[in-house]
């Protein structure tokens, strides 16, 4: 039983973590909010007058913003679609009896451990380069015009790279969930004459539903912040063809030195992420009670 003394001790032990995280969250976020209502450019020193909603107005009505919103949705949606469907297929495959399962699993999961800058540069040069890249060579070899990935389909190219990094994550989690499925239930269904399709739809998929939701929510949080892959491949271009909200905020604040507009964009990004976070938190919270 917890005594009064141990409760006091417990509070003391938890306080450094709470104080640090609280400061980390409140101080910069408060500053972002404050900067977002000032006219504040690092290139024009002097007073930073209060301008109210002006920065938000500029950020939200900038044509780059609507492009960035669409790009962000396409990027997140595209990667989710590929990784969830691919992840289910991979998990089903890897769950079957085979030789050398461990080695195969390691090969599938490995891309997740590759740092974003490496995978982006390797794909950009060794695979998607229209002249020397492997895809370009295959196209030329078959008599087609090679695709200029980052010139013609920049966003799709980035989606491919990011999906390659996150497919292992989805596979790993869905495989873990699949392995916790009661085998006897499946066998009983099989004996009752259920074919593979109905076993998949009525037993496996419902069992995976929770894990799929977790994959979607967690990936969304990370995918909204994709940055390095854009920075080292397209720099958001051509034009704004591959600029996301995260990248747009980076451009406004660290490249154009406009602290005010960059901060307004930061606040917008926080609001967007929070909409997703609320759903995720609710799911994890439910799990804590169980």
Partner 1 sequence: MARAVSNKTKTINTVIAGTLGVLMFFPILWIIILSFKTEEDAVRAPLEVLFQSGWTTDNFSTVQARSDYFRHFSNSVIISLGSTLLGLVVAIPAAWSMAFVPARRTKDVLMWMLSTKMMPPVGVLVPIYLIFRDTGLLDSRVGLTVVLMLINLPIIIWMLYTYFREIPGEILEAARMDGAGLKEEILYVLTPMAVPGIASTILLNIILAWNEAFWTLNLTAANAAPLTAFIASYSSPEGLFYAKLSAASIMAIAPILIMGWFSQKQLVRGLTFGAVK
Q: Which is nearer to partner 1, 92 or 147 (CB)?
A: 92
Least distance in Å: CB of 281 to partner 1?
A: 6
Tokens of 110: 């490995």
Q: Which is nearer to partner 1, 73 or 221 (CB)?
A: 221
Number of neighbours of residue 155 by Cβ within 10 angstroms? 19
Q: Which is nearer to partner 1, 145 or 191 (CB)?
A: 191
Least distance in Å: CB of 20 to partner 1?
A: 6
CA atoms within 13 A on the CB side of 163: 20
Q: Which is nearer to partner 1, 128 or 155 (CB)?
A: 128
Least distance in Å: CB of 63 to partner 1?
A: 20
CA atoms within 13 A on the CB side of 201: 4
Least distance in Å: CB of 286 to partner 1?
A: 9
> For residues 192 and 198, what is the distance between their CA atoms, to the nearest angstrom?
11
Q: Which residue has the tokens 């992420």?
A: 273
Q: Which is nearer to partner 1, 75 or 177 (CB)?
A: 177
Least distance in Å: CB of 247 to partner 1?
A: 9
């Amino acid at each position: 039983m917890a005594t009064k003394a141990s409760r006091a001790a417990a509070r003391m032990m938890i306080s450094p973590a709470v104080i640090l995280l609280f400061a980390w969250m409140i101080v910069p976020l408060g500053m972002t909010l404050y900067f977002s209502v000032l006219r504040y450019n690092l290139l024009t020193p002097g007073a930073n007058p209060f301008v109210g909603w002006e920065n938000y107005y500029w950020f939200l009505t900038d044509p780059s913003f609507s492009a960035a919103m669409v790009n962000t949705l396409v990027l997140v949606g595209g990667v989710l679609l590929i990784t969830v469907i691919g992840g289910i297929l991979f998990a089903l495959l890897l769950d079957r009896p085979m030789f050398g399962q461990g080695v195969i699993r390691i090969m599938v999961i490995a891309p997740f451990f590759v740092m974003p800058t490496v995978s982006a540069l390797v794909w950009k040069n060794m695979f998607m380069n229209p002249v020397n890249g492997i895809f370009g060579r295959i196209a030329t070899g078959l008599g087609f015009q090679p695709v200029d990935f980052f010139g013609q389909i920049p966003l799709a190219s980035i989606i491919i790279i990011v999906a390659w990094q996150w497919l292992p994550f989805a596979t790993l989690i869905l495989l873990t969930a699949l392995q916790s499925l009661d085998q006897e239930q499946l066998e009983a269904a099989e004996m009752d004459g259920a074919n593979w399709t109905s076993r998949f739809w009525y037993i496996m998929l419902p069992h995976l539903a929770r894990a799929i939701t977790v994959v979607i929510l967690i990936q969304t949080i990370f995918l909204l912040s994709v940055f390095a892959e854009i920075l080292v491949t397209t720099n958001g271009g051509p034009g704004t063809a591959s600029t996301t909200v995260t990248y747009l905020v980076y451009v406004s604040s660290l490249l154009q030195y406009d602290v005010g507009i960059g901060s307004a964009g930061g606040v917008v990004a926080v609001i967007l992420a929070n909409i997703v976070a609320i759903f995720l938190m609710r799911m994890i919270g439910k799990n804590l009670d169980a």
